[in-house]
Amino acid sequence: MSVGVVANPASGRDIRRLVTGASVFDNAEKGSMVYRLLAGLGATGVEKVWMMPAGEGLSGSLMRRLRSHARHHGVDSSPMPALEFLDMQLHGDAQDSALATRMLADLGVGAIVVLGGDGTDRVVAKACDDVPLCALSTGTNNAFPSLLEATVAGLATGLVTTGQVPRGVAATRHKRLDIRCGTASDLALVDVAASTSRFIGARALWRVGDLSDVVVTFADPCAVGLSGIAGQVRPTARTDDHGLYLRLSTPATADVAVTVALAPGLVAHVGVSDVREIAFGEVVAIPPADGCLALDGEREIERDDTDEVTVTLAAGPLVIDVDAVMTYAAANRMLVGGVTPDEGDT
């Protein structure tokens, strides 16, 4: 009964801290989140946690919390699971998360908890096989992961990992987008956008005027980023059996103009000239052009007007639904001890 943890020390620190009003999510808080996650996991019987190594700011904060727990908490507190760091060399980029995820899947963990933003979750989803994910938000644009208290996320993940809550109740199959660009291939969990920017550069998107064609797996009017644009014109749930294709243009020439939060602190006015549903397995052709493809809010693939680009909606990773798990646990009194209400009435 083990759980894996991938905590990206670089999440929440990209260029949008300079060009928008996004906050820095510091590594000390990520370390505290992992500590709270361990507390929840231990309370449900998880015995071991494997974790990707992290920089001093994150791992130092975590280890200080664990030492304090050992000193100040007695036998009445829930046991902490044994923590072991993966034996791997860090490169300081996305390949760290990818390698850690493959190692965790090979170790047979019951779930992987991811601390990061949309980009981190995309990398993990590419390597996790069918291991369910619990995605916690610590990034900039966080349409895919959830903003949850880590202690509660640990309880829910632990209940799933130990088999107390059936996977069919606990985990939902999310959608993904399979991308082909010339000979290159990749995937996205939230959105794919064609940008006229010729170079990947700092990766993050913040200029909406550079964008033309957008494909999304879901459209949430509360989301920050491209999913929020789609959510203003045709809300689409994560569980719906379709995605959306949008053609963007200037607000002055479009049929519909929407006002959205493109990034934290950055409100943009966007024109939408076309929107339609796409079904599972449907292949969407992106018109040829020079520029880049942005995946989940970050420019990843450079292209020219000779590259054929297609996007296909497909089944994606299993994701733990923390609300569903905790509701099931409450209905079945899994975390309730002592005298039951019926016994108390006699």
> Which tens digits make up the pLDDT trace of 226-267?
999 999 999 999 999 999 999 999 998 998 999 999 888 889
Q: How confident is the model at residue 82 (pLDDT cuts 50, 70, 90)?
A: very high
The continuous run of DSSP H or E covering 309 comes out as strand 309-320
Number of domains in the chain: 2
Q: Which domain holds residue 108?
A: 2-174+318-345
Which tops the pLDDT comparison, 9 or 206? 9
Give the CATH number, domain containing residue 36. Answer: 3.40.50
Reduced 3-state DSSP string for 221-253: CCCCCHHHHHHHHCCECCCCCEEEEEEEECCCC
116 and 82 fall within a common domain: yes
Q: How confident is the model at residue 205 (pLDDT cuts 50, 70, 90)?
A: confident
Coil/strand/helix, residue 304: coil
The continuous run of DSSP H or E covering 156 comes out as helix 150-161
307 and 204 fall within a common domain: yes
32 and 164 fall within a common domain: yes
Say what percent of the chain tops pLDDT 70. Answer: 88
Residue 228 tokens read as 């929020």
Residue 124 tokens read as 């993990």
Which tops the pLDDT comparison, 309 or 22? 309
Nearest 5°: CA angle at 275, between 300 and 314? 55
Mean pLDDT of 84-101: 93
56 and 86 fall within a common domain: yes
The model's pLDDT over 29-70, given as tens digits with 9 standing for 90+, comes to 888 999 999 999 999 999 999 999 987 678 878 888 888 876
pLDDT at residue number 308: 97
* Residue 288 backbone phi and psi in degrees, to 5: -65, 145
111 and 46 fall within a common domain: yes
Give the CATH number, domain containing residue 263. Answer: 2.60.200.30
Nearest to 207 by CA among 221, 193, 220: 193
Residue 193 has pLDDT above 50, yes or no: yes
268 and 329 fall within a common domain: no
pLDDT at residue number 11: 60
260 beta partners = 268
146 and 180 fall within a common domain: no
219 and 289 fall within a common domain: yes
Q: How confident is the model at residue 342 (pLDDT cuts 50, 70, 90)?
A: low
246 beta partners = 214, 275
pLDDT at residue number 26: 72
Residue 214 has pLDDT above 60, yes or no: yes
Q: Show Cβ contacts of residue 204 under 8 Å, excluding neighbours closer than 6 positions.
A: 14, 15, 16, 140, 263, 297, 298, 299
136 and 105 fall within a common domain: yes
pLDDT at residue number 340: 52
54 and 80 fall within a common domain: yes
Q: How confident is the model at residue 15 (pLDDT cuts 50, 70, 90)?
A: very low
pLDDT at residue number 18: 45
- Please state, as a whole number, how many other Cβ atoms lie within 10 Å of the Cβ of residue 99: 18
Mean pLDDT of 11-35: 65
The model's pLDDT over 124-182, given as tens digits with 9 standing for 90+, comes to 999 999 999 999 998 656 789 988 999 999 999 999 999 999 989 999 999 999 999 99
Mean pLDDT of the chain: 89
Nearest 5°: CA angle at 175, between 104 and 211? 110
pLDDT at residue number 142: 77
237 and 131 fall within a common domain: no
pLDDT at residue number 1: 86
Report in angstroms the alpha-carbon separations of 128 from 41, 99, 121, 158, 248: 20, 10, 10, 18, 33
Cα first-last separation, the chain: 39
The model's pLDDT over 313-322, given as tens digits with 9 standing for 90+, comes to 999 999 999 9
User: How buried is residue 256: exposed, middle or buried, by Cβ count under 10 Å (0-12/13-18/19+)?
Assistant: middle
pLDDT at residue number 339: 55
Q: How confident is the model at residue 346 (pLDDT cuts 50, 70, 90)?
A: very low
Q: Show Cβ contacts of residue 127 under 8 Å, excluding neighbours closer than 6 positions.
A: 98, 99, 101, 102, 105
Residue 259 tokens read as 């006002």
The Cα–Cα gap between 100 and 94 comes to 10
Residue type, 220: D
The continuous run of DSSP H or E covering 313 comes out as strand 309-320
76 and 217 fall within a common domain: no
Nearest to 257 by CA among 235, 225, 236, 233: 233
